[in-house]
A and B are shown apart, each in its own frame.
Chain A
Amino acid sequence: MTTTPPTPAATAVPLPAPHDNRCPFSPPPAYTEAARTSSVSRAELPDGSPCWLVTGYPEVRTVLSDRRFSADARHPAFPLFTPERRELFAENPSFIRLDDPEHARLRRMVTGDFLVKRVEAMRPGIQEIVDETLDRMTDGATEADLVGSFALPVPSLVICLLLGVPYEDREMFQSLSRTLLNTFAGVGEISRANDELLDYLGGLAAHKKEHPAEDILSRLAARDDLTLREIAATGILLLVAGHETTANMIGLSTVLLLDRPEQKAKLADPAALPGAVEELLRHTTIVHTGLPRVAVEDVELDGTLIRAGEGVFAMLSTANRDELMFGGEDRLPADDVDLDRDARRHLAFGFGVHQCLGQPLARAELQIALGTLFHRLPGLRLAVPHSELVFRPDSVVYGLKSLPVAW
């Protein structure tokens, strides 16, 4: 058993580690290598402070579901790429960075909006949004940027409707969201973006208190046990998580499938769509920088002692490539896409009490968007060489900056 605390040793894995440009769909080689030798490795944050990298499937599940690990970013040892952001979390925490019972109190105010049954009832509406967005994209054109004309508009329109945010304001909130998710944005830039979004959503909520409509912000505004700041912080979380994630999944999944015509052909069967989307979620794991937590008690993890007050990153990407979990004799290796794989045990949505609240919605959006895209545009292809695709390694949510396609 290792009992020494993590020190910035020469072998520490630098976080966040760079992707290998030659295989942009694989986790950074530094993580894969660390995962090969141990499920818990030493790592180092950009400011030189030590933390742990947890890469094994069972260990990632433990970190995310064991109460001895906290998600409260106000903890002085909570691992952050830019520690200056701690103040931002302290001022306006949203529930993704709080522990129970505070987390549960706020999360439960919106869990009713994302019931599996409720999202199933939204499917015709989502289908309509997908159809209309494709109509606009293809109208008189044979080429487009799929990110800007399809992948981003679809989930943005859906979350705007649900929250009660005017879609006309998309350029503002899409650009501010990108700043918030940028790993290396300066603290001044981040805090301006955060303040702007807080003011914007706070203003909307105040308006809806007087003029309620059928949406989440109106319902939250009508409660007397929430402050306007709390509503705005929840609003930012739902708005940002609600569009950036699905958008990037659509973009990356499209490239993966265009590269694999034999896999793409399987989408022709509507019954194959749900399983295919689970496999794409697993393989892509867009939350590629891992989930940060801090140990609040000593924990032994696969023979390594993690002490109270030490930070850890739970790496969903390496856990999701675990050959024991996802491989199998009749399956392609876990490093490849195999739409016939049973990928339901993937951790792309996290694990534990913070597991993605929007997952039923994300599943429905991805099934409908990808199913419809390939059905309506059977000749869809990349309009630039593969090597010219521009990825976004500097974002917490991995993806493509743009995706030029033709059909």
Chain B
Amino acid sequence: MQVSVDRDRCCSSGLCALNAPEIFDQDEQDGRVMLRQTVFRPGQFADIRLAGELCPCGAITVTEGVSPADGTADAQAGTGS
């Protein structure tokens, strides 16, 4: 899974930081979105999808599928559990 954020579109609703605080943070000055991680565990996927769905400004793009980085993360999460 890949996630990208568009800070120009973000209206600082804070919904992403509320529902997926491990992944999204807000800029101290103007509340705009910041990504805290770029590699995600499968256990986080549901929160990430919800954040993408709830973002009122279309500022969060979630791409399903496995990138090389994701592959490693998924594999690690898979073996760890």
CB distance from B10 to the nearest CB of A (A): 9
- Which residues from 3 to 53 on chain B have a C-beta closer than 8 Å to any C-beta of chain A? 11-15, 17-19, 21, 25-32, 50, 53
Q: Within 8 Å CB of A363, what residues of B?
A: 18
Q: Is the Cβ of B56 less than 8 Å from the Cβ of A115?
A: no
Q: Is the Cβ of A111 less than 8 Å from the Cβ of B31?
A: yes
Q: How many residue pairs between the two chains, A and B, have CB atoms under 8 Å in the bound complex?
A: 65
CA distance A344 to B47 in the complex (A): 12
Q: Within 8 Å CB of A402, what residues of B?
A: none
Q: Is the Cβ of A359 less than 8 Å from the Cβ of B13?
A: yes
Interface string of A354-380 (1 = CB under 8 A from B): 111101100100000000000000000
Q: Is the Cβ of B56 less than 8 Å from the Cβ of A114?
A: no
- Residue from B11, B17, B21, B27 within 8 A of A104 (CB atoms): B11
- B69 part of interface (Cβ distance < 8 Å): no
Q: Within 8 Å CB of B21, what residues of A?
A: 116
CB distance from B48 to the nearest CB of A (A): 14
- A351 part of interface (Cβ distance < 8 Å): yes
- Tally B residues with Cβ within 8 Å of A: 23
Q: Within 8 Å CB of B57, what residues of A?
A: 65, 352-353, 355
- A192 part of interface (Cβ distance < 8 Å): no
CB distance from B56 to the nearest CB of A (A): 4
- A112 part of interface (Cβ distance < 8 Å): yes
CB distance from A100 to the nearest CB of B (A): 9
Q: Is the Cβ of B26 less than 8 Å from the Cβ of A117?
A: yes
- Residue from A65, A108, A112, A360 within 8 A of B56 (CB atoms): A65
Query: Known contacts A351-B56, A353-B56, A355-B56: does B12 contact A111 (CB below 8 Å)?
Result: yes
- Tally A residues with Cβ within 8 Å of B: 25
Identity of the chain B residue whose Cβ is nearest the Cβ of A355 in the assembled complex: B56
CB distance from A14 to the nearest CB of B (A): 30
CA distance A357 to B12 in the complex (A): 8
Q: Within 8 Å CB of A223, what residues of B?
A: none
Q: Within 8 Å CB of B26, what residues of A?
A: 115-117
Q: Is the Cβ of A112 less than 8 Å from the Cβ of B11?
A: no
- A86 part of interface (Cβ distance < 8 Å): no
CA distance A353 to B31 in the complex (A): 13
- Residue from B14, B19, B58 within 8 A of A114 (CB atoms): B14
CB distance from A293 to the nearest CB of B (A): 14
- Which residues from 104 to 121 on chain A have a C-beta closer than 8 Å to any C-beta of chain B? 104, 107-108, 111-112, 114-117
- B75 part of interface (Cβ distance < 8 Å): no
Q: Within 8 Å CB of A349, what residues of B?
A: 13
CA distance A396 to B31 in the complex (A): 28
Q: Is the Cβ of A112 less than 8 Å from the Cβ of B31?
A: yes
Q: Within 8 Å CB of B29, what residues of A?
A: 112
CA distance A392 to B58 in the complex (A): 35
Q: Is the Cβ of A115 less than 8 Å from the Cβ of B58?
A: no
20 contacts between A and B (CB under 8 A): A65-B56, A104-B11, A108-B30, A111-B12, A112-B28, A112-B29, A112-B30, A115-B26, A117-B25, A117-B26, A344-B19, A344-B50, A349-B13, A351-B56, A352-B57, A355-B13, A356-B13, A357-B12, A359-B15, A360-B14
Given contacts A352-B11, A355-B57, A357-B12, could you give 16 more A-B pairs where the C-beta distance is less than 8 Å? A65-B56, A108-B12, A111-B11, A111-B30, A112-B28, A114-B12, A115-B31, A116-B18, A344-B54, A345-B54, A352-B56, A353-B11, A355-B11, A359-B13, A360-B14, A360-B18
3 smallest CB-CB distances across A and B, nearest first, come from A111-B12, A111-B31, A355-B56
